[in-house]
Amino acid sequence: MIILQSRTSHLSAKRSAEDGHATGTAVIVTIITFTSIAALLTALRVYTRIKISKNAGIDDWLVIASVGISIGVTVTMSEQVQYGMGKHFSTLPTEDKIVMNKWFWASTWNYALGLGVVKLSILFQYLRFIPIRSYRVACYVLMVFNVGWTLFGFFACFFMCTPAYDFWRRPPGEGNCLDRMTIWYTMAGGNIFTDIVITILPIPPLSKLNFPRLQKIILMVVFGVGGITCIMSILRLPALYKISESLDPSWNNPTAAIWSSMELNTSIITCNIPTLKGLVSRLFPAMSFGDSYIRTRSNQIQPISFTNGSSSGGRTLRDSMHTEKARVAAQELELRIQQSRTPMLKESEFSPVPSTPTSPLSPDFDLVGNRRSRFAPVRRL
DSSP line for 191-255: HHHHHHHHHHTTHHHHHTS-S-HHHHHHHHHHHHTTHHHHHHHHHHHHHHHHHHT-S-HHHHHHH
Distances in Å between the Cα of 205 and the Cα atoms of 155, 218, 246, 360 are: 35, 14, 46, 46
The pTM assigned to this predicted structure is 0.72
User: Domain for residue 244, yes or no?
Assistant: yes
> Lowest mean pLDDT: which of 73-87, 229-243, 310-324, 328-342?
310-324
Domain that holds residue 330: 291-347
Residues 253, 352, single domain; the answer is no
Residues 102, 229, single domain; the answer is yes
Residues 43, 144, single domain; the answer is yes
Q: How many domains does the chain have?
A: 3
Check: CB of residue 351 under 8 Å from CB of residue 363. yes
Residues 153, 29, single domain; the answer is yes
Residues 343, 359, single domain; the answer is no
User: Domain for residue 14, yes or no?
Assistant: no
> Lowest mean pLDDT: which of 12-26, 39-53, 246-260, 291-305?
291-305
Check: CB of residue 288 under 8 Å from CB of residue 281. yes
User: Domain for residue 315, yes or no?
Assistant: yes
Residues 355, 342, single domain; the answer is no
Output DSSP code: residue 286: G
User: Domain for residue 9, yes or no?
Assistant: no
Q: Which of 238, 258, 285 marks a domain boundary?
A: 285
Tell me the pLDDT band of 380, cut-offs 50, 70 and 90: very low
Q: Which of 285, 304, 325 marks a domain boundary?
A: 285
Question: pLDDT of 24-53, one tens digit each?
Answer: 899 999 999 999 999 999 999 999 999 888
User: Domain for residue 11, yes or no?
Assistant: no
Query: Taking Cα atoms as reference points, which of 67, 66, 147, 74 lies closest to residue 107?
Result: 74
Question: pLDDT of 73-117, one tens digit each?
Answer: 999 999 999 999 999 999 999 999 999 999 999 999 999 999 999
Residues 300, 261, single domain; the answer is no
User: Domain for residue 18, yes or no?
Assistant: no
Spacing of C-alpha 171 from chain mean position: 37
Residues 89, 227, single domain; the answer is yes
Q: Give pLDDT, residue 330.
A: 63
User: Domain for residue 126, yes or no?
Assistant: yes
